[in-house]
Chains A and B, each alone.
Chain A
């Protein structure tokens, strides 16, 4: 009976894919939802690909899943991934459907799933992945994710015992996952720019998980990312099996130490979080059995989609959109750090207020006190315009961070921010936006461009 339901569900889902595509839409969510409606055990019953790889974590999972898929496809492997769809149960089910033919036979070499970390409890036990890649667990949406310990507990409970984990040795939460599973670690060794004490407001996991003592760091990159050790009980971060030793930004190479052998790869992005993303891809390829030479060839063919930055230059004035994910203090602090370090006098427009909450609610804005607004206390930042319904909250936060009140401006409508710019004193315009305010940031950019073109 269950098999019959499974086949009916598969046929219905396949038909829906044809229909949805005829309507010109991405058939990424609904086919999975239909299949699950007919056969709730679809994910469990469906045959799996010879290699099933799941990617999860707070930041970087989309990038890693896409890079990995691209690498495998460039090796002429037949691979499906949920890159166009959702990363919760229906989206992952659709991906599974795409790996099967109408008779329910698996027709791909591998499936790559980007898995929402909170939804992983409904996905991992049924997909039974061969590999689970986890880049990091940071603070994320308070409403949805609670806190990283809660997400850790979900992954630790629901990841099958025979899944091999590929983990970030430099991140002390996710690297403690499933201690009895087969695990390998990647990491970036000590770099010249590293610190030994955190300069960020938020540094979770800075005390020993074994004895509670404050941890020391051989090196600390940002927040709690680094190599930690406990002077009391001897606990320390995992040593990386795949350790990036040299990041050569001039020659765009990344040297990785593997089993005592130096392997040189192309550096596909010089931003630190993307180097972690690349390292997790290299580690996964090597774990899949690729030789260094083959892995090198595949990595040479992949490109990191840099959707976080978008730059135009009008009459010599750069106008830069920077993604600064709301509720995500690490993402936002990284963005603030990047903007504050850029050369030249600038105006920064903050357009990160939640898109949904403004309609019928009052956004809980407490997360901005986890973000390093202190980075904006630089002489090169000439104006900061807090734009959106929570503009006064940003103003209070900026003042408490020590930013001079005379450079802070506020407006309730994001696009009105452009009217407040004092063009005399700036060389560049930075627009910081949330995932859901991208369109508003584009409207701001358009208005800025219009002004700059008019000023020609």
Chain B
């Protein structure tokens, strides 16, 4: 098992690193590749089972794009044809769209892998608890961001929120799932917070009946929190 973390020094806001810690516990024998900002993504030249990219500040989004744009065609090819599963959390998902529009209307070209685009609204910040349905899984978590992503269709969406904001704050469609790309605005420790989702992801890596580390505690924690989403007049932010 080879797991790559893309630009982990700058793409790790607010608990995102929890997913790496969790994956290291899940796969103690796996090789973890930490790709630095000035290095070429490892999955472009090597077999990688899972590549994760987490959320980042807006200036750092631009730094990431500066490095990735020259590799645009190679990246598209890898997203299309490699066996790697890709997990994009928070605003890293925005890099896959056509462009990111800044607060002053300037459009930054993005990787154009998907027919979506993002718009920043700083200083307006979207903060929201999220509960969403994804097949038979209920995802829970939190989004906190300055931007919206538009163009996510029912077919493209990862899940449908019944609590909280969608990827476009006016929609209830959240995230993306296409072929081997998984993306969501949910940030932080998504995997340890959602054991069913963690198992779903691990199954996509070819493990049929995964067992999670400390599984009973993970489920106790998850169910306790899920139950709290039923508080009447739940405050989302």
Contacts and interface: CB of A to CB of B under 8 A. Distances in A.
A12 interface: no
B31 interface: no
B214 A369 contact: no
A365 B214 CA distance: 18
A212 B213 contact: no
A396 B218 contact: yes
Interface residues on B, range: 35 or more
Contacts of A392: 217, 220-221, 224-225
Interface in B125-160: 125, 127, 129, 142, 144, 146
Which of B142, B187, B233 neighbours the largest number of chain A CB atoms within 10 Å of its CB?
B142
B235 A149 contact: no
A143 interface: yes
Interface in B189-237: 189, 192-193, 213-214, 217-218, 220-221, 224-225, 228-229, 231, 233-237
B27 interface: no
A366 B224 contact: no
Contacts of B38: 211-213
Interface stretch (B45-53, B54-62, B76-84, B171-179): B54-62
Contact of B58 (A149, A214, A361): A149
A370 interface: yes
A369 B236 CA distance: 21
A366 B187 contact: yes
A166 to B, nearest CB: 24
Q: Determine the interface band of chain A, counting residues with CB < 8 A from chain B.
A: 35 or more
A235 interface: no
Given A207-B9, A361-B236, A367-B14, 17 more contacts: A142-B127, A142-B144, A143-B125, A143-B144, A150-B122, A213-B36, A360-B231, A362-B129, A362-B228, A366-B14, A366-B193, A369-B17, A370-B17, A392-B221, A393-B221, A397-B18, A400-B18
Interface of A: 139, 142-143, 146-150, 153, 201-204, 206-207, 211-214, 357, 360-362, 364-370, 389, 392-393, 395-397, 399-401, 405
Interface of B: 9-10, 12-18, 21-22, 25, 36-38, 57-60, 63, 67, 122, 125, 127, 129, 142, 144, 146, 187-189, 192-193, 213-214, 217-218, 220-221, 224-225, 228-229, 231, 233-237
6 contacts: A150-B57, A203-B9, A207-B9, A212-B38, A367-B14, A399-B213
